[in-house]
Amino acid sequence: MGLRIFYHPEYYADIGEHVFPMEKYGLIVERLKSEGLVKEEEIITPYFPQDEDILLVHTRKYLEKVKNISLSYRELMILEIPLTEQVVTAFYWHVGGTISALQIALEKGVGINVGGGFHHAFPDHGEGFCLFNDIAISLKKGLEGKWFEKAIIVDCDLHQGNGNAFIFRDDERVFTLSIHQERNYPFPKMKSDLDIGLEDGTGDEEYLRLLGDALPPILDEFKPQVLFYIAGADPFKEDVLGGLRLSKGGLRRRDELVKEEATKRGIASVVTLGGGYAQRLEDTVDIHFQTIKVFLEK
């Protein structure tokens, strides 16, 4: 399969009884190994980012507050997860996983972070379980290093990618596409370059039609060298935070659509997992596993 998958056990942090299943990352890796998709030695330890990487996107004041575990009560309420040293370390690793996935994608066509996709984080604060914005940091690092000239973010998480929409709102080198449940978090939404706001109850057929109609012409016109994919598992019909009605098969076809459109144009794909809050944890793990399997297939 080649060395394309990045993971570290410290992606997990203990956040207590919480809807966000931090344990999913280790379970996904175990599933990948047990099904024979990857060997132990093919799971790569990511780069551990430096503070200057984080500061490509986040303000120094915010970073210092995070490192000192000194966010205000209001900031913690917006973040919606507890802040501990273990949580901070986990998010550093997630950022590094996406940076590493970008580097390998530019070399081999596909790079996979078994984590990441924390698209609600803004430069000066975290939101919605997202402490640092790994996508934006990786993208800025690549642009500053002249690793590529243009990139697209294809955000298929149930929730709009408000952090990325804000961060790249005036950057002509980055196209932000978000397909999400319209009447769901976040409120208010930021303006992406293209927002596809879905009605409650949208299922496989309509979702795939809308994404399939939108993505190819954007790729043809914008001509990015890199596609950052946020493959949220939360459009699943049994997600406790969502109101879309996609099946596992529909989500797999979504992944195949994104992969196919990128691959046939020679666009490098950086895969991150985003959210997933199914009633049964094994469903979330299964959906993420299928995403990785799709992107590992020839």
- Active-site positions? 120
Start-end of H helices in the chain:
24-34, 51-54, 60-67, 73-79, 85-108, 134-144, 162-167, 204-222, 248-263, 281-296
What is the Cα–Cα distance from 108 to 49, expressed in whole angstroms?
22
Q: How far apart, in Å, are the Cα atoms of 159 and each of 25, 56, 141, 196?
A: 20, 24, 25, 11
Q: Which of 170, 117, 107 is nearest to 142 (CA)?
A: 107
Q: Residue 152 forms beta bridges with which residues?
A: 175, 227
Place of tokens 């934006």: 136
Other C-beta atoms closer than 10 Å to the C-beta of 274 total 25
Q: Is 182 in a helix, a strand, or coil?
A: coil
Residue 222 Cα distances to 27, 156, 217, 226, angstroms: 37, 19, 8, 11
Residue 194 neighbours by CB under 8 Å, 6+ apart = 175, 176, 177, 178, 214, 218
